[in-house]
Chains A and B, each alone.
Chain A
Amino acid sequence: MNTLQIKNLSASIADKQILKELCLEIPQGEVHAIMGPNGSGKSTLSKVLAGHPDYEVTNGEALMNGVNILGQDADEIARSGLFLAFQYPVEVAGVSIANFIRAALQARLPDGESIKAVDYYKDLYVQMDELGMDRKFTSRSLNDGFSGGEKKRCEILQMSMLQPQYCILDETDSGLDIDALRIVSAGVNRMRSKDRGFLVITHYQRLLEYIVPDVVHVMWDGKIVRSGDKSLALELEAKGYDWIKEEIAA
């Protein structure tokens, strides 16, 4: 039951089909990586799972601990335990990081209960220290004027505060220098646990040196075409995607 199971998922945007009967299962306790060339549908998969309203699901299910999340509102899916670290985190002027995360935590509480400010800030500061973020960050507007590295750190900070059951990281390595990559990866690794599943979407094998996956999948034209252990990532890195294309064609 403690698994995210995607069955025969097809989805389209503006009548263009992107996902084609995709199957994938991420049990809690495992880290799965998806690699694939541009346009293969990796980001679409993450958005569809997160409930983005622009995509139309035409077939299949996505069972999170046995419950189909497709068709639920994005906030409902989020509150039931799915977190998406965005490739391009969105800027929201005037909303401080501290207030935003607090509002997100508050949204998970039953009516009438509220977050205790003292405990909240204690937790927040611990997580920020781990990610090497200055305390001044708390009062900065969400992603507003952040560097690429700051944005990604802020995503991981939110993830660590919200403690989701399933985390999807969409090209978290893009725009990161090597130091930021290390810090972000360490943040993810700290969160690895038997109660949490990860789906790491990336172009490059480099990220997988830091976040070592249990399973690597290759996505091509809207579906998973090959799965293997971490050596598959190295093979892709060495041979490029053309090798997969040729195999599929054959």
Chain B
Amino acid sequence: MIQATEFDIDTEKGNFRFDTDYAFDAGVGLNPDVVRYISNVKEEKEWILNFRLKALETFLKKPLPTHWATDDLKNINFDVIRYYLAKGQKPSRSWDDVPDDVKNTFERLGIPEQERKFLAGVEAQFDSEAAYSNMKEGLEKEGVIFVGPTEGLRDHPEVFKKWFGKVIPTSDNKFSALNSAVFSGGSFIYIPPGVKLKQPLQAYFRINAENFGQFERTLIIADEGSEVTYMEGCTAPKFETSTLHSAVVELVALKGSKIQYITVQNWSNNVYNLVTKRAMAEEEAEVRWIDCNIGSRLTMKYPGVILRGRKARGEVLSIALANSGQHQDTGAKMVHAAEETSSNIIAKSISIGTGRSSYRGLVRMPKHLKNCKNNTECDALLINSDSQTDTYPAITVQGEGNSVQHEATVSKVSADQIFYMQQRGLSEGEAMSLCVNGFVNDLIREFPMEYSVELKRLIDMEMEGSVG
């Protein structure tokens, strides 16, 4: 694995320093010049530069949301972060053309192997830019677009410009504004009407440099009657200092389409993972977020669906695992904006050691709508006596014939359970692991197989060493 020490960057000095390993480096700290630098490297049109500069103003103006969120946000030092680092190569379509150090990283993470096995397309991002991007033959002919935002906005403006920044406006929150100012990398996907992808598209995000911020931007448009599953994974090496990951993900599900978006977040536990994810579902469209948060120091993420068309359906299935030193602040938002829309939220969290998990849910059904339904279940499992969990549901239901169900439980793994399982020969760690897997089992069953196996493995790894 490549270590951060290979890069000799003087954090005191700052701006626009070139580096032998990175052809492009926007330097340390954030100001309009950094934004111009990024935009210039990408040879962007002026409207995008202006979009970025305006976003920077918004970011600087907005306070941190510490009036409701954790004070740990104050520990982010925006002045020491590097906002853009790239090798200056175009994403390769063959792994053979990916530079060795980068390729070895992804090999080790098993990405090329997964691609061969079960994926329709892969994009692998290394720090700020994709190193690899490829799609199975034939999909391009069908009109499927799977590129990064730079290519998306440059080569297919007629497709993407209309929706870019529309589901999540720049000013939605401080971090969506930050992303809008410095975004780089991510996936821009368009699925033409009626095209149903049988295999998932995948993006893998790798942070490699210390004191770095990754700000990918994703926009997926599923045209009428189309279907797509998108999966993302992410990792970073463990550094001494904290790292920032702040993405914006917008989904547009047009009439009768289906989007399934799966995340397995496994950042190292010094990463601030502050992500805004939202979907718009038109008539009879279905959007399902599967959101698993295992890693990071602090995650704040509440995937949402705006149910804009009649009979649209939204779903969030969320699993969060907070070990000592971690705070998983996750949840879901369902905004019902048309009649007969339905939504389902199932959130399960596990707190280990001094880990803390918080659930925040927002469900809104305005007065003029009829026959909307929401079901929310949130269950927390506490492993140790100082593990922490909290729940903040915000449900507003007006109007006739709308229904909401909300269920919340908190349970603990008891000493009796552990002794019972140990008496059958399982170690304390194995017993804990089995309890935790049992707790999330019914939810994991809903996941695509490859991801449920991966998730189970990650849970086992987290539970090892969490006891004793």
Which residues of A pack against B, CB within 8 Å? 50-54, 73-75, 78-79, 83-84, 86, 89-95, 99-101, 103-104, 107-108, 141, 158, 162
Contact = CB atoms under 8 A, between A and B. Distances in A.
A89 B438 CA distance: 17
A221 B302 CA distance: 59
Interface string B310-351: 000000000000000000000000000000000000000000
Interface string B416-427: 110111111111
B438 A93 contact: yes
Contact of B420 (A53, A89, A108): A89
Contacts of A162: 424-425
Contacts of B427: 73, 75, 107
SS class, residues of chain B in contact with chain A: helix
A78 B423 CA distance: 5
Nearest to A77: B423
B136 to A, nearest CB: 32
Nearest to B426: A107
B434 A75 contact: no
Contact of B430 (A52, A89, A94, A107): A107
Contact of B425 (A92, A94, A104): A104
Given A93-B438, A104-B425, A74 B419 contact: yes
B425, B431, B435 pick with most chain A CB within 10 angstroms? B425
B435 A74 contact: no
Given A52-B419, A103-B434, A94 B439 contact: yes
A91 B420 CA distance: 9
Contacts of A84: 423
Given A74-B423, A75-B425, A94-B442, 20 more contacts: A50-B419, A50-B423, A52-B419, A73-B428, A74-B422, A75-B423, A75-B428, A78-B422, A78-B425, A90-B414, A90-B416, A92-B435, A93-B438, A94-B440, A95-B435, A99-B434, A103-B426, A103-B434, A104-B425, A108-B425
16 contacts: A53-B415, A73-B422, A75-B427, A86-B420, A90-B417, A91-B417, A92-B421, A92-B434, A92-B438, A94-B439, A94-B441, A94-B442, A95-B435, A95-B438, A104-B426, A162-B425
Contacts of B419: 50, 52-53, 74, 90
Contacts of A73: 422, 427-428
Given A94-B441, A107-B430, A75 B420 contact: no
A159 B389 CA distance: 37
Contact of A95 (B411, B416, B422, B437): B437
Interface in B372-422: 411, 414-417, 419-422
Nearest to B439: A94
A141 B416 CA distance: 16
Nearest to B440: A94
A53 B422 CA distance: 11
A89 B420 CA distance: 8
Contacts of A91: 417
B452 to A, nearest CB: 14
A80 B423 CA distance: 11
A94 B456 CA distance: 14
A78 B426 CA distance: 9
Contacts of A101: 424
A99 B445 CA distance: 15
Across chains A and B, which 8 residue pairs bring their CB atoms closest together, nearest first?
A94-B438, A95-B438, A74-B422, A104-B424, A90-B420, A75-B422, A78-B425, A94-B441
B54 to A, nearest CB: 49
A1 B421 CA distance: 28
Contacts of A50: 419, 423
B436 to A, nearest CB: 9
A79 B419 CA distance: 14
Nearest to A161: B424
Interface string B432-468: 0011011111100000000000000000000000000
A50, A52, A53, A75 pick with most chain B CB within 10 angstroms? A75
A75 B441 CA distance: 24
B48 to A, nearest CB: 48
A75 B426 contact: yes
Given A100-B434, A103-B434, A141-B438, A92 B420 contact: yes
